[in-house]
């Protein structure tokens, strides 16, 4: 979500703290595409239509690191978390379906660039989301990471354009190569300013199978850049044959 499609598609993996928490430790993601603005009258990502001054305002570090910093679009109280499902063995994820926001995507495998930065999915229209393969597989114990663009290089709608609309209690499914479908229930949706991205909160190891869906938000029409990251936190609540 920065202006350089190539140079800013990921942040350097220089955080020692993050490296201890996640294999191949990754920091805040700056993989936004400098492309079209949000569609007029469409479902723009939360804060995308805010004035540039509001979107770009720095967030105090203490606030950005607070795991309870609420998504402003999420006013209702969160429902009690659903029970967690037993962790599954490792298996590569092949597709993601999020019915409530109309997402049905194959999943690429994302590694690292030669310079150590996290790879990101292609930016062309219709590009799928991608699983960061140095994170746990969805269904394993720990925090799996799936990345998707909010826009594309030629239009304002990417695979995760409506990610910010998810709310606690909604479900989505990841299908894996072992012919199982892992069902996840959303715990919370957070919006973080890129400059104050809480790496530890997002990528920390967990004692149950969890997942993070990540994209950009906070479109600034003055610069054509996305200033925030939207992060969906969810945990495994069921598995069944695919």
Q: Beta strand pairing status for 142-147 and 209-220?
A: parallel
> The CATH number of the domain where 210 resides is what?
2.40.260.10
Q: Kindly state whether residue 71 falls inside one of the protein's structural domains.
A: no
Contact status, residue 156 vs residue 201, Cβ threshold 8 Å: no
Q: Kindly state whether residue 78 falls inside one of the protein's structural domains.
A: no
Write the DSSP assignment of 68-131 as a string of letters: T---TT--SPPPPPPPPPPP-----EEEEEEGGGTEEEEEEEE-B-TTSPBP----STT--EEE
What letter would DSSP give residue 208?
S
How many whole angstroms separate alpha carbon 15 and alpha carbon 110?
19
Q: Kindly state whether residue 64 falls inside one of the protein's structural domains.
A: no
Point out the residues of the chain with pLDDT beneath 50.
Answer: 1-28, 35-37, 40-44, 46-77
Q: Kindly state whether residue 218 falls inside one of the protein's structural domains.
A: yes
Contact status, residue 196 vs residue 174, Cβ threshold 8 Å: no
Give residue 112's pLDDT: 87
Give the HSE-up count for residue 210: Cα atoms under 13 Å, Cβ half-sphere: 20
How many whole angstroms separate alpha carbon 30 and alpha carbon 12?
10
Give residue 225's pLDDT: 87
Q: Kindly state whether residue 63 falls inside one of the protein's structural domains.
A: no
pTM here is: 0.73
* Helix residue spans in the chain (DSSP H): 16-21, 52-56, 61-64, 199-203
Q: Is 87 helix (H, G, I), strand (E, B) or coil?
A: coil
Residue 148, domain extent: 16-56+104-241
Q: Kindly state whether residue 83 falls inside one of the protein's structural domains.
A: no
Q: How many domains does the chain have?
A: 1
How many whole angstroms separate alpha carbon 169 and alpha carbon 78?
8
Q: Kindly state whether residue 197 falls inside one of the protein's structural domains.
A: yes
Give residue 151's pLDDT: 93
Give residue 80's pLDDT: 57
User: CA separation (Å) from 62 to 19, 196, 197?
Assistant: 22, 9, 11
Contact status, residue 29 vs residue 148, Cβ threshold 8 Å: no
Give residue 223's pLDDT: 87
Contact status, residue 185 vs residue 206, Cβ threshold 8 Å: no
Span 37-48, pLDDT tens digits: 455 444 445 433
Q: Kindly state whether residue 217 falls inside one of the protein's structural domains.
A: yes
Give residue 43's pLDDT: 46
């Amino acid at each position: 979500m920065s202006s350089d499609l190539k140079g800013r598609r990921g942040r350097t993996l220089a955080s020692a703290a993050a490296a201890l928490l996640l294999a191949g430790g990754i920091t805040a993601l700056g993989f936004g595409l400098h492309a079209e603005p949000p569609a007029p009258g469409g479902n723009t990502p939360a804060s995308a239509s805010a004035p540039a001054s509001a979107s770009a305002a720095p967030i105090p570090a203490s606030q950005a690191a607070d795991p309870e910093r609420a998504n402003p679009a999420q006013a209702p109280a969160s429902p009690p978390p659903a029970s967690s499902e037993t962790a599954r063995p490792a298996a590569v994820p092949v597709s993601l379906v999020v019915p409530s926001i109309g997402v049905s995507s194959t999943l690429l495998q994302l590694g690292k660039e030669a310079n150590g930065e996290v790879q990101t999915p292609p930016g062309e229209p219709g590009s799928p989301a991608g699983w960061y393969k140095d994170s746990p597989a969805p269904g394993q114990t720990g925090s799996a990471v799936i990345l998707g663009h909010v826009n594309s290089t030629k239009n304002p709608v990417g695979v995760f354009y409506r990610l910010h609309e998810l709310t606690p209690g909604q479900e989505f499914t990841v299908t894996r190569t072992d012919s199982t479908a892992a069902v996840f229930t959303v715990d919370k949706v957070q919006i973080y300013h890129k400059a104050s991205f809480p790496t530890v909160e997002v990528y920390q190891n967990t004692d149950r199978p969890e997942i993070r869906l990540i994209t950009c938000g906070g479109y600034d029409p003055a610069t054509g850049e996305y200033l925030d990251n939207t992060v969906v936190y969810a945990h495994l609540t069921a598995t069944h044959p695919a």
